[in-house]
């Protein structure tokens, strides 16, 4: 390579970065992606608002739930609790019941959102935090969500690094499967002061063109000429830890408990047991002791309340 093509990926001068083959001219790569995104992208309702609260709700809902299932839940949620003050004033159980009723997954996230709204009303005096560091103080808001909200609401975020971005960087620039490496490359490739469009665009790329099944040509991927995977044909993706199966899991029964309590206001222990599994037998392997264990965890998670009344055990949200 005595006479390298300027379009070819090259190591930075000095070879100071062993992480990846970043392009020689990052602006070409940046502009190509932004132009691709602006020419055509999926329309989600939260992309049409700059309300940080509405965006936070969309991000928390989206964390482990498919986007298509989030749209109607997001609209219903904001219809019911339009501001952080409204949400902070709500009963925790109502928020958890809403979450369960809309099949949004991890019910803890309903609690986090409710808690975050309370923090905004108290610790932040109703003023929504604007920086990633301040946002990350909110319950349930980690590095990903903090940068996403700071970017989409305030154009004030750092590079988002989620599984989509990791997969894109791993394939395009041959970044090693290492969190620190992803963080460095993601930061370096993002143009300054453009976190809103950039983080939208790179996640759109990961969702539309560079998913598990790559659609480089169909989606008109703007990075084909620089992409390591496109050149080698190796579209391996970073390892994502595989989850234990959901069927028969503890999580499945937690979910059933929360859903039933959302429907029934309050339920006695054995009634609940028989409704969440057909083989419930009060003194059997999956009986009162087993169910009390689940309820204890749910209580410690702040999702459920348990009360002993007249020798009966009563549970409610």
Partner DNA sequence: GTCCCGCATA
Partner DNA sequence: TATGCGGGAC
Q: Active-site positions?
A: 59
196 to each of 19, 30, 67, 199, how far by Cα in Å?
25, 13, 19, 6
Report the SS3 class of residue 306: strand
Answer yes or no whether residue 127 interacts with DNA by CB under 7 A: no
According to DSSP, the β-strands at 305-309 and 266-268 are: unpaired
Range 221-250, binding DNA (CB under 7 A):
240-243, 245-247, 249-250
Answer yes or no whether residue 67 interacts with DNA by CB under 7 A: yes
Contact range with DNA by CB under 7 A, out of 11-19, 186-194, 202-210, 304-312: 202-210
Which CB atom, from 21 or from 197, has the smaller least distance to DNA? 197
Rounded Cα gap, residues 208 and 205, in angstroms: 5
Rounded Cα gap, residues 117 and 128, in angstroms: 9
Inter-residue contact 133 to 146 (CB < 8 Å): yes
And the tokens for 23? 């392009």
Inter-residue contact 87 to 139 (CB < 8 Å): no
Answer yes or no whether residue 174 interacts with DNA by CB under 7 A: no
Residue recorded with tokens 């749910």? 298
Q: Measured from the CB of residue 108, what is the shortest distance to DNA in angstroms? A: 5
Sign (positive or negative) of CA dihedral 250, 252, 253, 257: positive
Q: Which of 22, 24, 59, 229 binds DNA (CB under 7 A)?
A: 59
Answer yes or no whether residue 140 interacts with DNA by CB under 7 A: yes
Q: Measured from the CB of residue 1, what is the shortest distance to DNA in angstroms? A: 34
Mask of contacts with DNA, 72-111, x by CB under 7 A?
Answer: ----------------------------x--x-xxxx---
Q: Phi/psi of residue 120, each to 5°?
A: -65, -40
Q: Which of 1, 6, 43, 66 binds DNA (CB under 7 A)?
A: 66
Answer yes or no whether residue 63 interacts with DNA by CB under 7 A: yes
Q: Measured from the CB of residue 162, what is the shortest distance to DNA in angstroms? A: 4
Q: Measured from the CB of residue 79, what is the shortest distance to DNA in angstroms? A: 21
Determine which helix (DSSP H) or strand (DSSP E) holds 267, and give its type and residue range.
strand 266-268
Helix, strand, coil % (nearest 5) of the chain?
55, 5, 40
Q: Measured from the CB of residue 246, what is the shortest distance to DNA in angstroms? A: 4
Report the SS3 class of residue 92: helix
Inter-residue contact 180 to 86 (CB < 8 Å): no
The full length of the chain comes to 317
Q: Which of 146, 150, 168, 201 binds DNA (CB under 7 A)?
A: 146
Contact range with DNA by CB under 7 A, out of 17-25, 58-66, 87-95, 283-291: 58-66
Answer yes or no whether residue 251 interacts with DNA by CB under 7 A: yes
Residues that bind DNA (CB under 7 A): 44, 59, 62-67, 69, 100, 103, 105-108, 112, 138-146, 148, 162-164, 167, 203, 206-207, 211-212, 240-243, 245-247, 249-252, 254-256, 258-259, 297, 303
């Amino acid at each position: 390579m005595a006479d390298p093509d300027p379009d070819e990926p090259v190591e930075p001068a000095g070879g100071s970065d062993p992480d990846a083959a970043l392009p020689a001219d990052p602006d070409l790569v940046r502009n190509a992606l932004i132009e691709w995104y602006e020419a055509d992208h999926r329309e989600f309702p939260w992309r049409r608002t700059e309300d940080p609260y509405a965006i936070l709700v969309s991000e928390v809902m989206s964390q482990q739930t498919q986007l298509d299932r989030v749209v109607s839940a997001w609209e219903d949620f904001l219809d019911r609790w339009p501001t952080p003050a409204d949400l902070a004033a709500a009963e925790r159980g109502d928020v958890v019941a809403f979450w369960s009723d809309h099949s949004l997954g991890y019910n803890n996230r309903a609690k986090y959102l409710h808690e975050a709204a309370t923090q905004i009303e108290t610790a932040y005096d109703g003023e929504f935090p604007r920086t990633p560091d301040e946002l990350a103080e909110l319950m349930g808001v980690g590095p990903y969500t903090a940068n996403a909200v700071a970017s989409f609401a305030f154009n004030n975020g750092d590079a988002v690094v989620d599984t989509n971005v990791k997969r894109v960087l791993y394939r395009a620039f041959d970044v090693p499967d290492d969190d620190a490496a992803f963080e460095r490359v993601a930061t370096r490739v993002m143009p300054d002061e453009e976190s809103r469009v950039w983080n939208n665009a790179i996640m759109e790329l990961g969702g539309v063109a560079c998913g598990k099944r790559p659609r480089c040509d169909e989606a008109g991927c703007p990075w084909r000429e620089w992409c390591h995977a496109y050149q080698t044909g190796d579209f391996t993706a970073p390892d994502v830890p595989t989850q234990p199966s959901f069927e028969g899991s503890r999580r499945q029964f937690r979910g059933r408990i929360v859903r039933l309590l959302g429907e029934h206001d309050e339920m006695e222990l054995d009634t609940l047991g028989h409704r969440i599994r057909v083989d419930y037998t009060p003194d059997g392997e999956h009986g009162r002791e087993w169910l009390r264990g689940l309820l204890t965890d749910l209580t410690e998670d702040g999702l459920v309340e348990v009360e002993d009344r007249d020798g009966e055990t009563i549970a409610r949200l």
